[in-house]
Amino acid sequence: MGKLSALLVNTGLEALLAGCLAAIVAQILKFIFYTIIKRKIDFRVFTTTGGMPSSHSAGVVALSTAIGIQSGFMSQLFAVAMGFSFVVMYDAAGIRRASGKMAVCLNKIMDDFYKHDINAAGTKLKELLGHTPIEVFCGAILGVLFAFYFHYIVLL
């Protein structure tokens, strides 16, 4: 075990780093999937919400899993972390997805109303806000796998 690993193993920094890195990995995978499916490169995918897999889910579930690995999966701390994760995932698949669907409708109405000059009403609303349940689920699976990989392969 290296010096850096010794400083991170079984600490809050390990859990925080696992969550952040899992979210980054999810964003990279999202870019790769987008490039393959759309057959074009768009670096804005790195900074957008929505898409497969959910980086929000990957991050919070990796954080929760890292806490479970360290504190035990029956601990109160793990229960709190998972409660936080469920709220984030519910929001990603529910409220933010509904907002994205409403944005699509409102943009269509504005296109129809202003026909030739959409910018007269201001800029278009952001449409890709939330995730489908499968995108959230895949992000959560990625988070669990990443936390175990990070703890047992990278750090130990």
> What pLDDT is stored for residue 126 in this prediction?
65
Spans in the chain with pLDDT lower than 70: 1, 96-97, 100, 115-122, 125-129
Average pLDDT, the chain: 87
pLDDT the model gives residue 117: 65
**Domain boundaries along the sequence of the chain:** 3-94+130-155
Q: What pLDDT sits at residue 105?
A: 77
Distances (CA, A) of 59 to 2, 8, 89: 25, 18, 10
Nearest to 33 by CA among 51, 56, 59: 51
Task: Report the distance separating Cα 3 and Cα 96, nearest Å.
Answer: 42
* Per-residue pLDDT at 24: 97
pLDDT given for residue 59 in this prediction? 98
DSSP line for 19-46: HHHHHHHHHHHHHHHHHHHHSS--GGGG
- pLDDT tens for 108-148 read 777 777 766 666 666 776 666 677 889 999 999 999 999 99
Is the pTM value of this prediction over 0.75?
yes
pLDDT the model gives residue 6: 83
Query: What are phi and psi for residue 55, nearest 5 degrees?
Result: -75, -30
Per-residue confidence (pLDDT) for residue 3, from 0 to 100: 78
